[in-house]
Structure 1
């Protein structure tokens, strides 16, 4: 398990920790609901990326995504 990220000098908390707290607050304080929301959004982004990979050639993307095997 990854340890908690420390904030750079002069910052109260890291940007990721702030975003995580905002996600939990948006979920009414329920961390499980916040995590589920993030996982749903991530799954949708992965689906969109897979669709774009199918529509765009490796040459056009200049190798940005790995070629399909």
Structure 2
């Protein structure tokens, strides 16, 4: 994933690139702050996912919970 994605024909930017630009603008054009915000949100979502894994049985989730890569 380390490379920039090419946008489909006829589009100026890929969806991920547009989302990245929005995150940077929301952080006052500070790329480091934007990255820190995204990483903080990721930690929060991983914590919520871990809680859901503990609360939901593996039978109910039907194998959706896989090991981390």
Structure 1 length-normalised TM: 0.91
Partner of 2:35: 35
Q: What does the per-residue CA deviation read over 1:21-67, in whole Å, with 9 as the maximum and x for residues that have no partner?
A: 00000000000000000000000000000000001110011111137
Once residues 17 and 31 of structure 1 are traced to their aligned partners in structure 2, the CA distance between those partners, rounded to angstroms, is 13
Where does structure 2 lack aligned partners over 5 or more consecutive residues? none
Q: CA deviation at 1:4?
A: 1.2
- Root mean square deviation, CA, Å: 1.4
> SS where residue 58 of structure 2 aligns?
coil
- Could you say which structure has the higher helix fraction? 2
Write out the 4+ residue segments of structure 1 that deviate beyond 6 Å after TM superposition: none
Aligned length: 67
Residues 3 and 65 from structure 1, CA distance in 2 versus in 1: closer, same or farther, beyond 3 angstroms?
A: same
Structure 2 length-normalised TM: 0.91
